[in-house]
Structure 1
Amino acid sequence: MSTSTGDDGLHERLSQRIDQSTLSEAAKLLVLSAFWGDEEFRAALDGAVHGDVAAVGTVEPADVPKTYLTAVTVTGFRGIGPQTTLALRPGPGLTLVVGRNGSGKSSFAEAAEIALTGTNARWRDRSSVWREGWRNLHRGGAQPSVEVELQVDGEPGATRVAREWDGEDVDVSRVWAQRHGARREYGELGWADALTAYRPFLSYSELGSVLGRPSDLYDALFRILGLQKVSDAQERLHRAFTDLENRRKECAAEGKELLAALRAADDDRALRAAEALGGQAPDLNVVADVLRGEQAPTGNSAVLRAWTDLIAPDPAAALRAAEELEAAAGAVQELSGGDSDQARRLVALLEQAVDHADHAASADCPVCSAPGRIDATWRAATEKQLARLRQEAEAADRAHAALRGARAALHPLAVSLPAVLREVAPPDIDGAALHARWTAWTAAIRTDDPATAIAALRDDTTALAELISAASAAAGAELRRRQDAWQPLAERLSAHLPRARDVSAQSQVRADVKSARDWLKGQADDLRDEGLRPIADQAADVWRQLRQESNVDLGPVRLEGTKTRRRVELDVTVDGDAGAALGVMSQGELHALGLALFLPRAMLDQSPFRFVVIDDPVQAMDPSKVDGLARVLAGAARTHQVVVFTHDDRLPDAVRRLQLPATIWEVVRRERSVVELMQSDHPVTRYLDDARAVARTESLNDAAKKRVVAGFCRSALEAACHDVVRRRRLGRGDRHSDVEGALVRATTLTAVTALALFDDAGRGGEVLARYNRRLGSWAGDVHQACNKGVHGGPAFDAVDLVEKTQKVADFLRAIDPNAATP
């Protein structure tokens, strides 16, 4: 999850609009995550696909540490040979670095920029030939390097960033940083995004970038104003929707081709899959079931499967059955001359006669009454006949039993005909003929006539079995053919299924991304205008100060269009009449416009940088605008450290003439690229110079002269004390606002002097004693004269007071800020 310390209110404005929108919660999250960055957006998009809620960035109020420049040190870089340091007072204030062209002044500006950013706007679009001249030839054996020293509010000691070069390519360098006394990777300072968003550097080449094509002007302002977040969010949403939509279209096209192939296949699996895929809402679960083969075969496949399951009668078994039936029938036939039933009846009758004889007293025949017929002879003959008749009956029973067994053995062969014979037959099989032949064969072996059954078993079984086997083989071959045809379809279907599932699962995500994209597109212009408005208002105010005698008036600044149609709309009027900005504004006016747009952005409270570095803003400005520029810079210097490099003497002249507070450094380049820096017009020096001038003015009466001189001398001492307090307290890590607050509360010369001497404004009663002890009693007299002379006070010599004030000021400025206070 990303955390931002501020984004010019854009996140808050976006969040408010989202809360008031009719977007789904998922779409709202997508807009916010797209605003925060690639990582957050990917997390939100993945979460939407998998049903998770991703964390997105939040804006957490933070006290952004204020960072000021304290020094820029350059060695062997551009116009500077031996090492030279430009010392700067950390804190709000205006610093002018003045020198003629070629003096090396701009080398300090370029050095500060390249040290912190690794590049330089002045070189960015230059040819390699121009860029190769960055090494100074007079550096001796020193390694080319640039270093900036910075003071971070609330941190003791200095922060340093240095960049060094070993080779000839200016873009290939080593960079290191030092913070809290420890050397570390530069990236650990966390300034990369802020340097891009708030960019505290403005070169002359960037001032000129407002010229040229409308898109160049748009890009320059867009970069300076840091309005990339909305465009980046739009692009992320557009790319995401395009990607999701392309996947859907690719899947749909693939599915359409696959559906046609499935419908053309004569396979029930293909037809079931086609039916599942072809509806308004494809049933992918059915497709998965088809691929797994979990459903029993249906349709033609089921019929073919049944054909393959046909079991033909076994010719060998049929032949054995025929032999058994023939033997049994023959046995019965051999007995066909006797009557087994008659034999059984005779046996019964004779057995009764024997039984009668055994119980009767008379030997007369019970049937014909013939006397004496049932005698021993009769009995022997009858017993013999009974044995013969019994054998004949038993043989007949065995023969008939064998015949019945032979017939029963035919039952497994004469099964009911499979129902599949009535279905569509496999290719090249006459199903009706097979059905008729199998039916006839079955009927023949089921007949009561053994000869007919035996003939069918012996003569027709083999042919029938061959027909059945051929039909089964044909069905198997057709199933294999269909499987061979189905396999590539199944493989295509298997590959398509997960893609189709993904597309199906992403349908709501796709809809949410589309609605998020369309919504943000509709809001982008308003968000852009809202973000630009406070900056544009400040820019218009700066322009009003810079325009001076110009007849060009600047209204709202708007960024219009996107991509190839992007442009800047400037509401410009000339003498009250509407005009085209680029057509009526001079180069100096366009440079002033660039500055007017740069300062509000670079000075936003969200930026950690409380300094701005501006190189040559005066070029092409007419004299009337230079005064306005001086006032604008002085106004910016009330809250920020403003460092301006210029070769034009008009700017320092305007600062002096308008009596604007500023530190001015003069840069002189000697032989062999030795660059010297001389500070002029330090506040102490300026006040004392003014005091000397008044003291030597003979036309001014003594009373007025003393009051004015005393006032200037008092201001000089106060400036010296302020310098001591700032160096001490900022150096130990006090916040700049706290330091300035302490100075504001020290409302008397005595209080501010106590703050300088003892770091305690409440020890004013010890000031004179300290002066007297360290410098002599005259120092206390100077303090008293400066403190009370503006109201009359004791008599003093004006010239003498100025010189002694100089000594006291020198004493104060020489105080070691790191030394312990007494």
Structure 2
Amino acid sequence: MSDLTDLVGSKAEADSELSDEATLLILAALEGDEALANMAGFSPPIRSVATTPLSVEPAGAFLRQIQVSGFRGIGPTATLDLKPMPGLTIVAGRNGSGKSSLAEALETALTGTTYRWLEKSSTQWKEAWRNLHDGAAPQIKVTLAEESVGATYVTVGWPTGGELHSMSIAVQRHGKKREDGLAGLGWTSAIDTFRPLLTYDELGSLLTAGRSKLYDTLATILGLEEIAAVVARMEARSKFLAEPATVVATTRKALARALEALEDGRSTQALVLLKPRAPDVVALRALATGTTTEQDEWAGRLRAILQLALPDEQAVHAASRALQETVTALAEAGSASVVATDRRIDLLNSALETHQHEGDMTCPVCGVGDLNASRAEAMRVEVDAMEADIATLRSARNRMATSLAAARALVQRLPDALTVALPEALRTAQEEARESWESWAGVPTEPLELAEHLRATHPAAEIALTELQEAIGPILSKRDDAWSRVATRVATLANQLETCAAAAPEADAAKAAVKWLKKNDLALKNERLEPITAEAMAIWADLRQESNVEISGLTLEGSATRRRVDITSSVDGSDGNGVAVLSQGEMHALTLALFLPRATRPESPFRFVVLDDPIQAMDPSKIDGLLTVLTRLAEKRQIIVFSHDDRLAAAVRRGAVDATILEVTRGEGSIVTVRDAHDPAQRYLHDAFAMAKDRGLPEQTKRMLVPGMLRMALETQARDRYFSESLAKGTPPQDAEAAWAAAQKTGSRIGLAVFEDASKELGPWLELRPFRKRGLGICSSGFHEGLRSDPIGACEDVKELMTDVKAGIK
């Protein structure tokens, strides 16, 4: 939650005692596990996560229709049509009329259960969910007007004979595949955080169930679980970073005891290295792996001999054989001088070139023989033969040189490791190995002798070296056995010390971050509660009316099992004892004051709030206060109130409140019907008729007032039509509001309602039915200049125009 991040982040940054590193850790923890994990490769513990995919944004939606059949008190399909737009709708009906069944059907579709089923201990509430008259195939279908999408359907069904828990819930968008569950709407967590439904049972239990339950309820809206999650993340982080130090301390003590019991120079060196508070991990690791120059001298000498190796027998024989073969090939190629032959070839080629340019002549060299064509041809043959011979000779010499070099490369000089002093038990074997190696290293200069030397001396040198190394093995193993058992532990400790040292600065920062969060926990929570408290107090001020109880504050206190909400109250100016001083009606009013800010938060995806029987225990004054609150909220939210008590509907009828009243009745066989009992547009029209028929009203006054009342009726009808249709198609509410506000003339608003176009030329449409033109004129020029025609006739014209606008007749 970004506002929580801003709140905590700003307080942390403002605290001069908190380091920058600790502040960064807190900010990362606010972002979540992944952000915290990205800091230095921290791997957080596995914990349960929300099942809603993070990529699914919660869908903003109004309610358009609820269809129910075979469920609770409803038999054949009953349909509740709603205006999917901000406004107040009261669904009235006596007890048993089926109105609460409609409310519970909606609750079931959105949550998969009902508060009554969850909270009632008796199983009868869960068993009596099928309708007795027509419950074979219960179905619930909720139509949403989803922003940027349009009509979206949430359906609930049960298999024939299925139990309550066998219900299946699905979401169907127009043109899209059916999705099981509600995850596609992104409401999995939102339905708990911004619960838009409040039943009578829940209304009565929120405050009486204990202060910890109220704390938990507020926690979801305030994001208090986010603060708790941040603390938990930081504690896990701090524990993770402190773990290396804990492990090191334990390991270090146990290793010191093991080293003290070992008689070895390396163990002594290790104990020395472990004494400082921050040991030299490089030296420890080198000692453990045997790479230090300060290790046991004898062990180093013996290991050096173990590293020695002679060429393998196959390579030696191959080199010897190759050398012999190249010597033979060179002998067969002859021993002619390559230089002399090259000079003769050059001389003959010069003579041939001269003959080619000068023709036949006396030999230019000796001046005796003839250099003619036949002699030139013989010379060419001779040159070709000599060039072939010399190429063969050169190839043989090159191969022999290569073989000779390869053979000599196999022979290494006597290693220093065979000349140093060794333990007495190895002296004889060392001498034999040294002598045989020296013999091997004595390379003859002649190629054939070298070939024979390789074959003759290699076996003895190989055997002597192998015997020496085999003799060294047991001696070195005996010496290393005890050390090797702790060397791995030394190396492990070196790694742990290094990890601990690297994590120390961040571990200190994490520890400081945890301390700061715990210190500021309640302050952060109560600061976050302030806007909710202010809104709840404002609502309570409207609801309390004549109550002597004043609620002046809410405070979150304690934690874990001692968490609670303290409600500061007073009675006639004297301090009270929280909710203990409240009557049942006042308790319900306070519950509403706490619930409504939660349900109407700007970040809630639910554009609707549904209340079921909220006024049952309220006196008349509080009902008037509730109507004031609901009317204010209905400016931005779709407020739906189910009530068997007619007092709220009566308050609407007698007040200047734009609200729709729907009446639910239940007939024989659980047949439930819904009818429109009060519509704001019809109320304005009704008032206009009453004004037109009022003989006590002066005629001139009547002619000035009736057009204004008719204009309100027509524009209210147009607004209802436009908002219902546009929001049902997915138009964002703010866009619909902007379009309506921009269309300031009555004709433009009719254009929006009927054609969805404020600039639509209405002339042809008005001419189709004469009452349309007359009715618009009454509500426009008549509004400014006064009515010229019969007032009752004017009301009839506008009534018919409103009927066309409501139906969207083009």
Q: Name the counterpart of 2:803.
A: 810
Query: In 2 relative to 1, CA 680–113 (structure 1 residues): closer, same or farther, beyond 3 Å?
Result: same
Q: Name the counterpart of 2:152.
A: 159
Query: In 2 relative to 1, CA 99–794 (structure 1 residues): closer, same or farther, beyond 3 Å?
Result: closer
Deviations 1:746-772 (A, max 9, x none): 4444443344345444557x45x6344
Tell me the CA shift for residue 649 of structure 1. 1.5
Query: In 2 relative to 1, CA 212–188 (structure 1 residues): closer, same or farther, beyond 3 Å?
Result: closer
Q: Is the 8 A contact 2:146 2:730 kept in 1?
A: yes
Q: Name the counterpart of 1:52.
A: none
Task: Tell me, yes or no, if structure 1 residue 135 matches structure 2 residue 129.
Answer: yes
Task: Tell me, yes or no, if structure 1 residue 191 matches structure 2 residue 187.
Answer: yes
Partner amino acid, structure 1, of 2:72: R
Alignment match of 1:147 (pick from 128, 135, 141): 141
Alignment match of 1:550 (pick from 539, 547, 550): 547
Alignment match of 1:600 (pick from 575, 594, 597): 597
Partner amino acid, structure 1, of 2:218: L
Q: How many residues align?
A: 636
Tell me the CA shift for residue 296 of structure 1. 6.5
Q: Is the 8 A contact 1:199 1:224 kept in 2?
A: no
Distance in 1 (CA, whole Å) between partners of 2:237 and 2:801 is: 70
Distance in 1 (CA, whole Å) between partners of 2:473 and 2:727 is: 95
Mean alpha-carbon deviation: is it higher for 222-231 or for 654-663?
A: 222-231
Q: Name the counterpart of 1:105.
A: 99
Q: Is the 8 A contact 2:59 2:187 kept in 1?
A: no
Q: Equivalences for 1:675-694 in 2 at 5 Å?
A: 675-694=672-691
Query: TM-score scaled by structure 2?
Result: 0.70
Task: Tell me, yes or no, if structure 1 residue 33 matches structure 2 residue 28.
Answer: yes
SS at match of 2:115: coil
Q: Name the counterpart of 2:656.
A: 659
Q: Name the counterpart of 2:202.
A: 206
Tell me the CA shift for residue 577 of structure 1. 2.0
Alignment match of 1:178 (pick from 172, 180, 188): 172
SS at match of 1:549: coil
Q: Name the counterpart of 2:66.
A: 72
Partner amino acid, structure 2, of 1:631: T
Q: Equivalences for 1:245-324 in 2 at 5 Å?
A: 245-246=242-243, 248-295=245-292
Task: Tell me, yes or no, if structure 1 residue 9 matches structure 2 residue 3.
Answer: yes
Query: In 2 relative to 1, CA 664–487 (structure 1 residues): closer, same or farther, beyond 3 Å?
Result: same
Distance in 1 (CA, whole Å) between partners of 2:140 and 2:38 is: 41
Q: Is the 8 A contact 1:176 1:183 kept in 2?
A: no
Tell me the CA shift for residue 612 of structure 1. 1.5
Tell me the CA shift for residue 581 of structure 1. 1.0
Tell me the CA shift for residue 568 of structure 1. 1.2
Q: Equivalences for 1:507-518 in 2 at 5 Å?
A: 507-518=504-515
Deviations 1:421-466 (A, max 9, x none): 9xxxxxxxxxxxxxxxxxxxxxxxxxxxxxxxxxxxxxxxxxxxxx
Distance in 2 (CA, whole Å) between partners of 1:273 and 1:226 is: 53
Tell me the CA shift for residue 545 of structure 1. 0.6
Q: Is the 8 A contact 1:78 1:133 kept in 2?
A: no
Query: In 2 relative to 1, CA 487–303 (structure 1 residues): closer, same or farther, beyond 3 Å?
Result: closer
Distance in 1 (CA, whole Å) between partners of 2:40 and 2:301 is: 50
Distance in 1 (CA, whole Å) between partners of 2:641 and 2:558 is: 34
Q: Name the counterpart of 1:531.
A: 528
Query: In 2 relative to 1, CA 663–169 (structure 1 residues): closer, same or farther, beyond 3 Å?
Result: same
Q: Name the counterpart of 1:407.
A: none
Distance in 1 (CA, whole Å) between partners of 2:535 and 2:135 is: 48
Tell me the CA shift for residue 544 of structure 1. 0.7
Task: Tell me, yes or no, if structure 1 residue 670 matches structure 2 residue 667.
Answer: yes
Distance in 2 (CA, whole Å) between partners of 1:565 and 1:264 is: 53
Q: Is the 8 A contact 2:299 2:476 kept in 1?
A: no
Q: Percent identity?
A: 38
Tell me the CA shift for residue 112 of structure 1. 2.7
Partner amino acid, structure 1, of 2:641: V
Q: Name the counterpart of 1:506.
A: 503
Distance in 2 (CA, whole Å) between partners of 1:90 and 1:303 is: 88
Q: Is the 8 A contact 1:559 1:569 kept in 2?
A: yes
Tell me the CA shift for residue 142 of structure 1. 5.7
Q: Is the 8 A contact 1:303 1:420 kept in 2?
A: no
Tell me the CA shift for residue 495 of structure 1. 5.4
Q: Name the counterpart of 2:750.
A: 753
Distance in 2 (CA, whole Å) between partners of 1:139 and 1:502 is: 73
Q: Structure 2, unaligned stretches of length 5 or more?
A: 45-55, 304-420, 425-471
Q: Name the counterpart of 2:374.
A: none
Partner amino acid, structure 1, of 2:111: T
Mean alpha-carbon deviation: is it higher for 696-705 or for 28-37?
A: 696-705
Q: Name the counterpart of 2:563.
A: 566
Tell me the CA shift for residue 215 of structure 1. 1.7
Distance in 2 (CA, whole Å) between partners of 1:135 and 1:65 is: 29
Distance in 1 (CA, whole Å) between partners of 2:532 and 2:670 is: 41
Query: In 2 relative to 1, CA 45–667 (structure 1 residues): closer, same or farther, beyond 3 Å?
Result: farther
Mean alpha-carbon deviation: is it higher for 482-491 or for 213-222?
A: 482-491
Mean alpha-carbon deviation: is it higher for 484-493 or for 200-209?
A: 484-493
Higher-Rg member (1/2): 1
Mean alpha-carbon deviation: is it higher for 477-486 or for 83-92?
A: 477-486
Distance in 2 (CA, whole Å) between partners of 1:245 and 1:710 is: 79
Q: Is the 8 A contact 1:64 1:606 kept in 2?
A: no
Distance in 1 (CA, whole Å) between partners of 2:301 and 2:259 is: 19
Q: Equivalences for 1:614-625 in 2 at 5 Å?
A: 614-625=611-622
Query: In 2 relative to 1, CA 42–88 (structure 1 residues): closer, same or farther, beyond 3 Å?
Result: same
Distance in 2 (CA, whole Å) between partners of 1:151 and 1:505 is: 56
Query: TM-score scaled by structure 1?
Result: 0.69
Query: In 2 relative to 1, CA 758–487 (structure 1 residues): closer, same or farther, beyond 3 Å?
Result: closer
SS at match of 1:196: helix
Query: In 2 relative to 1, CA 212–697 (structure 1 residues): closer, same or farther, beyond 3 Å?
Result: same
Q: Name the counterpart of 1:353.
A: none
Tell me the CA shift for residue 585 of structure 1. 1.8
Alignment match of 1:642 (pick from 609, 631, 639): 639
Q: Is the 8 A contact 1:146 1:162 kept in 2?
A: yes
Task: Tell me, yes or no, if structure 1 residue 743 matches structure 2 residue 736.
Answer: no
SS at match of 1:46: coil
Tell me the CA shift for residue 611 of structure 1. 1.6
Distance in 2 (CA, whole Å) between partners of 1:139 and 1:8 is: 51
Deviations 1:134-193 (A, max 9, x none): 6323474764343322223344x3122333333755455433323353125342333334
Q: Equivalences for 1:43-54 in 2 at 5 Å?
A: 43-44=38-39, 46=41
Alignment match of 2:78 (pick from 80, 84, 89): 84
Distance in 1 (CA, whole Å) between partners of 2:200 and 2:97 is: 16
Query: In 2 relative to 1, CA 758–298 (structure 1 residues): closer, same or farther, beyond 3 Å?
Result: closer
Distance in 1 (CA, whole Å) between partners of 2:516 and 2:116 is: 39
Alignment match of 1:42 (pick from 37, 41, 46): 37
Tell me the CA shift for residue 550 of structure 1. 0.8
Distance in 2 (CA, whole Å) between partners of 1:500 and 1:264 is: 22
Partner amino acid, structure 1, of 2:92: V
Query: In 2 relative to 1, CA 539–688 (structure 1 residues): closer, same or farther, beyond 3 Å?
Result: same
Distance in 1 (CA, whole Å) between partners of 2:722 and 2:294 is: 96
Deviations 1:522-548 (A, max 9, x none): 333333233221221111111111110
Distance in 1 (CA, whole Å) between partners of 2:40 and 2:86 is: 45
Distance in 2 (CA, whole Å) between partners of 1:568 and 1:763 is: 57
Q: Equivalences for 1:286-685 in 2 at 5 Å?
A: 286-295=283-292, 483-490=480-487, 492-493=489-490, 496=493, 498-685=495-682
Query: In 2 relative to 1, CA 478–564 (structure 1 residues): closer, same or farther, beyond 3 Å?
Result: farther
Mean alpha-carbon deviation: is it higher for 146-155 or for 616-625?
A: 146-155
Tell me the CA shift for residue 288 of structure 1. 2.4
SS at match of 2:123: helix
Alignment match of 1:94 (pick from 88, 96, 111): 88
Query: In 2 relative to 1, CA 79–301 (structure 1 residues): closer, same or farther, beyond 3 Å?
Result: farther
Distance in 1 (CA, whole Å) between partners of 2:128 and 2:249 is: 59
